[in-house]
Structure 1
Amino acid sequence: MLRTERHARILEHVSAKGSVGVEELSRLLHVSGATVRRDLQHLDALNLLRRTHGGAALGSIGLEAPLQYRSERRRPEKLAIARAAAALVPAGAVVGMTGGSTATEIARLLAERGPVTIVTNAVNIAAELVLHKDVTLVVIGGTARTESYELVGPTAEKALTEYHTDVTFLGVDGISAAHGCTTHDQLEAATDRAFTNSSSRTVVVADSSKIGKVTLAKICPLAAVGHLVTDGEAAQEELERIAAAGVPVTSV
């Protein structure tokens, strides 16, 4: 297991349980206690968790880990979601793309397929696509979020009113039948909402850990979602409720 993947697993486990001991993490990751302690010390220095006597607890930044760690979580599932999502894009389409690890995988697939126009506020996606000759790239400016590599805020929202996309891929931190699409950050939620308002169709891409989950800031109701693509581990009852609300669901 790569070090970054190990760190992602630790953060995911601590987020789910609130606190965890070194011995439990050692068994989970199949590494020594000494390795776990070094990992916890490193993550504590980054303020991603709080080192405690014998283990770790949630850190001061809350539940949202930076993208560099989230990208290692559920990677096979995200790749499968990305392939199914990319198949929904017609040739020559104008595609809106918010940030997130699954959206990044979709962007890579679309760039390889080309030609495509991509409108994005994610600086990591823009950096990957800028040299692709079959990609027309539009980057939406704003205030940078270090957790997601996205540019958000009023500047981004205003810029998005000047564009129209055929389809927008929306990454979320939670989607449920009762509360629609949510994320951790209020500014990000408003910018994501501007993406949906500027698009003919919004496709939510969310791995199973996001299904049925609700976080701080509301992006949009289910009525604004044209399709949900998730993986086969998602809670079936919640998917049925989402489908009953009129959202087509693809589970891969």
Structure 2
Amino acid sequence: MLRTERHARILEHVAARGAADVNELCALLDVSGATVRRDLHHLHGLNLLRRTHGGAVLGSVGLEVPVQHRTERRRAEKRAIATAAADLVPDNAVVGMTGGTTVTEIARVLAERGPVTIVTNAVNIAAELIPHKDVTLVVIGGNARTASYELVGPMAEKTLADYHTDMTFLGVDGVSAEHGCTTHDQLEAATDRAFAASGSRTVVVADHSKIGKVTFAKICPLSDIHHLVTDDAAPEQQLERIVSAGVPVTTA
């Protein structure tokens, strides 16, 4: 297992439970105690959790796992979602894209498929797309978020108000029938709302770990969403409630 994947699994585990001890993490990761202690020391140094005697606890409420620690997590599911989501895009479309590892996978699929215009606030997505001659790339400016590699805030929202896209792909940290789409950061939530408002259709892409989950800042209610694409491990009860709320769901 790669170090970055171990870190992502540790952060997700601690975020879900509030705390974890070394023995518990050794069993989860199938690694030695020395390896876990080194990982916890590193994550403590990044202020992502707080090291304790024998384990770790959350460093803050609503822990957000940084994008660089999420890249390898559920990669197969994200690629399947990306393939299904890309099939929704018409030829020569103008596509809005927020940040997120699943949205990044969609960008890769579209870049290889043919002519497309992509409007994004994610600098990592922009960096990948620049070399592709069949991609017309528009990058939205704003304040940089180190956790998500996104540019957010009033400048981003003002720019998006002047654009119109055929479709927006929205990456979220949680989506549920009761609370709609949510994320960890309020500035990011506001910029995501601007992305949704600029598109004729808004498609949420989220792997099964995000379905039924609620995080700090509300992006929009389900009534603002036109489609959800997830993977086949998503909880059926939540998907049924989302469909009942009027949102079509595709499982990849």
TM-score (structure 2 length as normaliser): 0.98
* Distance in 2 separating the partners of 1:118 and 1:61: 34
Aligned to 1:187: 187
Q: Is the 8 A contact 1:160 1:194 kept in 2?
A: yes
Cα shift at 1:72:
2.1
For these two proteins, the number of residue pairs brought into alignment is: 252
Q: Is the 8 A contact 2:208 2:231 kept in 1?
A: yes
1:16 aligned onto 2:16:
yes
Work out whether residues 228 and 248 of structure 1, in 8 Å CA contact, stay in contact via their aligned partners in 2: yes
Cα deviations across residues 106-147 of structure 1 (Å, max 9, x unaligned)?
001110112100000000000110111000000000000010
**2:234 aligned counterpart, secondary structure:** coil
Partners of 2:62 and 2:180 in 1: CA distance: 21
Unaligned 5+ runs, structure 1: none
TM alignment of 1:40-79, pairs within 5 A: 40-60=40-60, 62-79=62-79
Aligned to 2:28: 28
Once residues 89 and 186 of structure 2 are traced to their aligned partners in structure 1, the CA distance between those partners, rounded to angstroms, is 29
Cα distance, 1:72–1:167 mapped onto 2, change above 3 Å: same
| 2:209/2:234 contact within 8 Å kept | yes
Matches within 5 A, 1:10-159: 10-60=10-60, 62-159=62-159
C-alpha contact 1:47 1:60 (8 A) present in aligned 2: no
Counterpart contact for 1:47–1:61, Cα < 8 Å: no
Q: What's the secondary structure of 1:191's corresponding residue?
A: helix
CA distance in 2, matches of 1:219, 1:21: 34
Instruction: Give, in angstroms, the shift of residue 179 of structure 1.
Output: 1.1
Equivalent residue number for residue 173 of structure 1: 173
Could you tell me whether the CA contact under 8 Å between 1:115 and 1:134 is conserved in 2?
yes
Q: TM-score, normalised by structure 1?
A: 0.98
Partner amino acid, structure 2, of 1:71: T
Aligned to 1:235: 235
Separation in 2 of the partners of 1:62 and 1:53? 22
Confirm or deny that 1:215 pairs with 2:220: no
1:61 shift after superposition: 7.1
Shift of 1:62: 3.8
Match of 1:196 in 2: 196
The separation in 2 between residues aligned to 1:34 and 1:243, in whole angstroms, is 46
Which amino acid is the alignment partner of residue 2 of structure 2? Answer: L
CA offset digits 1:6-31 (Å, max 9, x no partner): 11111111111111111111111111
SS at match of 2:47: coil
Q: Paired residue for 2:2? A: 2
For 1:168 and 1:93, the matched residues in 2 are separated by 11
Q: CA-to-partner distance for each residue in 1:56-89, whole Å, 9 max, x for gaps?
A: 1112374101100122222111111111111111
Q: Quote how far apart the aligned CAs of 1:251 are.
A: 1.1
Q: Does the 8 Å CA contact 1:95/1:165 hold for their aligned counterparts?
A: yes
Q: Which runs of 5+ in 2 are unaligned?
A: none
Q: Which sits farther off after the overlay, 59-68 or 85-94?
A: 59-68
Say if 1:170 and 1:192, in contact at 8 Å, map to a contact too. yes
Deviating above 6 A after TM superposition, structure 1's stretches of 4 or more consecutive aligned residues are none
* Cα separation, 1, equivalents of 2:215 and 2:115: 36
Distance change >3 Å, CA 89–CA 224, structure 1 → 2? same
Q: Which moved more, 1:52-61 or 1:144-153?
A: 52-61
Identical aligned residues as a percent: 77
Separation of aligned partners in 1, 2:203 and 2:175: 12
Instruction: Give the 3-state SS of the residue equivalent to 2:63 in structure 1.
Output: coil
Q: Distance in 1 between matches of 2:9 and 2:186?
A: 26
